Structure 1
Amino acid sequence: MPFVPILMPQLGESIAEATIVRLDVAVGDTVRTDQEIIEVETNKAVMGVTTLCDGIVSELRAQEGVSYSVGTVLGMLEVTAEEVTRTGVETLEMMEAKLSVNPPPGSQQAEENLHFGNQDDSYEEAPAVVPSVKGLPVPTGTMGAHYISPRMRARMDDLGLREADISAIVGTGSGGRVTVNDLERFIDYIETWPSSQASPMRLAVADAMRRSWTRPLATVGLPVRLDRVLDHRRNSNPKPGLTLYLLRAFAKALSEDPASAGFLMGGKVVHPRAFDIGVAVQVEDGVVVPVMRKVDQKPLRDLVREYDDLVDRGRRRRLTEEDTKGGIATVTNFGTFGLTWATPIPLPNETLILGIGAGVKKPVWSTEVETFLPATEADLVLTFDHRVVDGGGAGLLLKRVGELLQKPEEL
């Protein structure tokens, strides 16, 4: 009988691999077309691998907790010839026949790369280290510590390391350069330390923050009174979350000043075509950012159910790729953790992230009764790409958000 491979599917245009969370079938089980048989976790959500046809599970190669790249064979289905004709699925024999006619690129012996084949860890030496202050040697040139030799680069690739990962290693090469020997010694040194495997979510967050930090980021802050927002929320049905008030005010402020939400691409500032704002949702070992669409065009009361649904699916890791793409900025409520101040970092594809801290009761002077009255106040913070927005522009944008929050009935 024919066999049909169970492949790791392409779960999104930017997703190259996924981790097996749970196997829902065993060898010998009968399955139906479109039945979810394997649960996988990507860097954005938990999804299911489904069958393409009816059949019997004849082999399972996937293991729980292991990551597999797109296209990897996770198992096999034994099917009938009639089922192949009915569904048009490709059998294992069909795929092997294709490969024999069109071998994959790189199957031929690759031409030797003389540059990377060089096992010498040397390079043109950087200037010697000259102590400018006693006990604080600094290189006289800029090349040494930043240079990574081909051999070192190849070893880092073998270990899956990035440049940021070796920042803790003291280099003994010229100009403070980290050599392969330095790296191996450090690996031996931490061999017995407790460790755990980073989850796909943690790796995704790490990669996004590494790319974000290549830009000059700055943060401004502004205290804002929340009493009117809290009163409005108490009298609303359904009740909007505080973050939704912030999201709506942010979108309205950006619609008045769209240049602030642009991003730099070469010599151009690309402006947003829609005011789609993301909201940071804390999940286990990371953060997901579902995106609310056209927030500037919808009144607050019409956003509540959409917001609650997105946040709920975000917490359960049930977001689709469409739910998380296309945002121009993000809001985050770090006040839910009791924090009054923070410096959130915008996503690599966004210029801005607006955060709000925990509300705190403070005495505020009232000119009407000429005495101090209790008020709930929280700090708004805006982190921005300083290449696109200056401090003054960011301050005006933040001030406008604060003004809009004082008129919640108009949001």
Structure 2
Amino acid sequence: MAEVKVPELAESITEGTISNWLKQPGDQVAKGEAILELETDKVNVDIISDYDGVLKETLFEEGDTVNVGDTIAIVEEGASAAAHPAESAPAQPAKEAAPQAKAEQEAAPAVETPSAPAANVIASPAARRLAREKGIDLSQVPTVDPLGRVNKQDVVNAANAPKQAAPQQQAAAPKSAAPAPQDDRVVVEKMTRRRQTIAKNLKNVQNTAAILTTFNEVDLSAVMELRKKRKDAFLKEHDVKLGFMSFFTKAVVAALKQIPYLNAEIRDNEILVKKYYNIGVAVSTDSGLVVPVVRDADRKNFAEIEREIAELAKKARDSKLTLADMQDGTFTITNGGTFGSLLSTPILNAPQVGILGMHSIKYRPIAVENNTKIEIRPMMYIALSYDHRIVDGKEAVTFLVKIKEMLEDPERLLLES
């Protein structure tokens, strides 16, 4: 028998949640084949088998949290699924006790007797762990399993069950104190690991960083005219559309070179100023916001940036991002305008100290030519949230003005980014 363990994932990831068993007990597995999907704080990771054989047993259930190094499954090396017909049948899980053990379980009163010690109760590892965390006696947990085996859901049900009041308390309690029936108009959903992590990280940022936001507006007439003029030739030559993100990415890189503290992070009492430009691009997915990174954006041309952003966005939507795709970003761009946002105050993506917010393009009357005439121009509000611990207001405003100037004269992007 061979043990399948949770491998080392990344320096900052020590645990994950089993989101989906891809193989079931009794299934044939090949070396290098994925047997389960693990949801981590950042991405979903396929855990593969290092052995050829049959999946003999799974030691955790979907929804269980497992740590790096935990044994999560047992593989019978060299075995064939054909030799285990009972195990491969859907109605016969591999965890079910053997006939002799089953007879002993049915004959033993320990499982059904409320006063039996919890150690004699047959329970899954997840159920025992949850029971310990909540201080629940497993012998007092009802179960519908025909073998009397307590699973994690049984413990959850027991923990959520209303406590029985003492007889005299029940008699004294007024009728109005009876709990109201659950409102069937309310749906209770468990937060995914990723959503929990997003919530925790964003709250930690608010608690530790001195976040301030400054705003400006950009006239995108020149960018839109350039895109209109070059988009067909650009698409034909590079097989990718010329969007807005490459212009903003190039403008951000140029502005970061002028204001280097926005391309830094705080570590203890030190400031780490980074001389490389890995620009994170926030992407919304069904499971939450993720921020894949365009590495060395200062060394890439417009086509390379557009192509990489498109590829990363597709991987994000298909849940195919790897940990490497999301690590070591130095600054982030988020585009709320995709969803119609006119103005917002983006929150920092720790440990970064700056994030640029893009918004909807709206045609508005603007004074031009030294305020001698009014024209309707495509305008966008942009917002910079920054950590005031190391970035002052003057630097933040200068950063946004730099971006505005380059986007309103996009030829400068070729020279300065």
Same fold per TM (> 0.5)? yes
Aligned-partner Cα distance in 2 for 1:27–1:249 = 54
Counterpart of 1:376 in structure 2 is 378
Counterpart of 1:385 in structure 2 is 387
Shift of 1:317: 2.2
* CA offset digits 1:109-148 (Å, max 9, x no partner): xxxxxxxxxxxxxxxxxxxxxxxxxxxxxxxxxxxxxxxx
Aligned-partner Cα distance in 2 for 1:8–1:265 = 30
Aligned-partner Cα distance in 1 for 2:361–2:300 = 26
Aligned-partner Cα distance in 1 for 2:302–2:257 = 15
**Do 2:331 and 2:353's aligned partners in 1 also have CA atoms closer than 8 Å?**
yes
Aligned-partner Cα distance in 1 for 2:64–2:409 = 51
* CA offset digits 1:354-396 (Å, max 9, x no partner): 0111011101223289432211101010000001111111000
Q: Which amino acid aligns with 2:73?
A: G
Q: Report the 3-state secondary structure (helix = DSSP H, G, I; strand = E; otherwise coil) of the residue aligned with 1:208.
A: helix
Question: Is 2:357 the partner of 1:355?
Answer: yes
Shift of 1:257: 2.5
Aligned-partner Cα distance in 2 for 1:31–1:261 = 46
Counterpart of 1:230 in structure 2 is 224
Shift of 1:80: 4.3
Query: Aligned ranges for residues 318-333 of structure 1 at < 5 Å?
Result: 318-333=320-335
Counterpart of 1:154 in structure 2 is none
Q: Report the 3-state secondary structure (helix = DSSP H, G, I; strand = E; otherwise coil) of the residue aligned with 1:381.
A: strand
Query: Aligned ranges for residues 193-342 of structure 1 at < 5 Å?
Result: 195-213=188-206, 214-234=208-228, 235-236=230-231, 237=234, 238-342=240-344
Q: Which amino acid aligns with 1:392?
A: K
Aligned-partner Cα distance in 2 for 1:320–1:209 = 21
Q: Which amino acid aligns with 2:305?
A: L
Aligned-partner Cα distance in 1 for 2:57–2:322 = 29
Task: Tell me: CA distance 1:233–1:197, structure 2 relative to 1, closer, same or farther (3 Å).
Answer: same
Total equivalences in the alignment: 306
Task: Tell me: CA distance 1:387–1:158, structure 2 relative to 1, closer, same or farther (3 Å).
Answer: farther
Counterpart of 1:50 in structure 2 is 48
Task: Tell me: CA distance 1:208–1:241, structure 2 relative to 1, closer, same or farther (3 Å).
Answer: farther
| TM-score normalised by length of structure 1 | 0.69
**Do 1:220 and 1:383's aligned partners in 2 also have CA atoms closer than 8 Å?**
yes
Shift of 1:203: 1.0
Aligned-partner Cα distance in 2 for 1:41–1:260 = 32
Aligned-partner Cα distance in 2 for 1:312–1:401 = 27
Which of the numbers 394, 400, 403 marks the counterpart of 2:396?
Answer: 394
Counterpart of 2:163 in structure 1 is none
In structure 1, the gaps of 5 or more residues are 82-156, 160-187
Task: Tell me: CA distance 1:158–1:378, structure 2 relative to 1, closer, same or farther (3 Å).
Answer: farther
Shift of 1:26: 2.0
**Do 1:291 and 1:324's aligned partners in 2 also have CA atoms closer than 8 Å?**
yes
* CA offset digits 1:67-118 (Å, max 9, x no partner): 322222222101149xxxxxxxxxxxxxxxxxxxxxxxxxxxxxxxxxxxxx
Task: Tell me: CA distance 1:300–1:410, structure 2 relative to 1, closer, same or farther (3 Å).
Answer: farther
Aligned-partner Cα distance in 2 for 1:262–1:72 = 36
Shift of 1:301: 2.5
Shift of 1:266: 4.3
**Do 1:245 and 1:405's aligned partners in 2 also have CA atoms closer than 8 Å?**
yes
| TM-score normalised by length of structure 2 | 0.68
* CA offset digits 1:31-61 (Å, max 9, x no partner): 1110111122212112211110111111123
**Do 1:54 and 1:79's aligned partners in 2 also have CA atoms closer than 8 Å?**
yes
Shift of 1:22: 2.1
Q: Report the 3-state secondary structure (helix = DSSP H, G, I; strand = E; otherwise coil) of the residue aligned with 2:276.
A: coil
Aligned-partner Cα distance in 1 for 2:191–2:371 = 57
Shift of 1:398: 0.6
Counterpart of 2:26 in structure 1 is 28
Aligned-partner Cα distance in 2 for 1:379–1:279 = 18
Aligned-partner Cα distance in 2 for 1:255–1:373 = 33
Q: Which amino acid aligns with 1:220?
A: T
Task: Tell me: CA distance 1:210–1:158, structure 2 relative to 1, closer, same or farther (3 Å).
Answer: farther
Aligned-partner Cα distance in 1 for 2:224–2:330 = 27
Q: Report the 3-state secondary structure (helix = DSSP H, G, I; strand = E; otherwise coil) of the residue aligned with 2:227.
A: helix
* CA offset digits 1:135-182 (Å, max 9, x no partner): xxxxxxxxxxxxxxxxxxxxxx968xxxxxxxxxxxxxxxxxxxxxxx
Shift of 1:298: 2.1
Aligned-partner Cα distance in 1 for 2:404–2:24 = 57
In structure 2, the gaps of 5 or more residues are 80-131, 135-178, 235-239
Q: Which amino acid aligns with 1:321?
A: L
**Do 1:232 and 1:409's aligned partners in 2 also have CA atoms closer than 8 Å?**
no
**Do 1:354 and 1:382's aligned partners in 2 also have CA atoms closer than 8 Å?**
yes
Shift of 1:348: 1.9
**Do 1:32 and 1:54's aligned partners in 2 also have CA atoms closer than 8 Å?**
yes
- Give RMSD over aligned pairs: 2.5
Counterpart of 1:18 in structure 2 is 16
Aligned-partner Cα distance in 1 for 2:35–2:270 = 47
Q: Report the 3-state secondary structure (helix = DSSP H, G, I; strand = E; otherwise coil) of the residue aligned with 1:313.
A: helix
Q: Report the 3-state secondary structure (helix = DSSP H, G, I; strand = E; otherwise coil) of the residue aligned with 2:215.
A: strand
Aligned-partner Cα distance in 2 for 1:402–1:158 = 54
Counterpart of 2:38 in structure 1 is 40
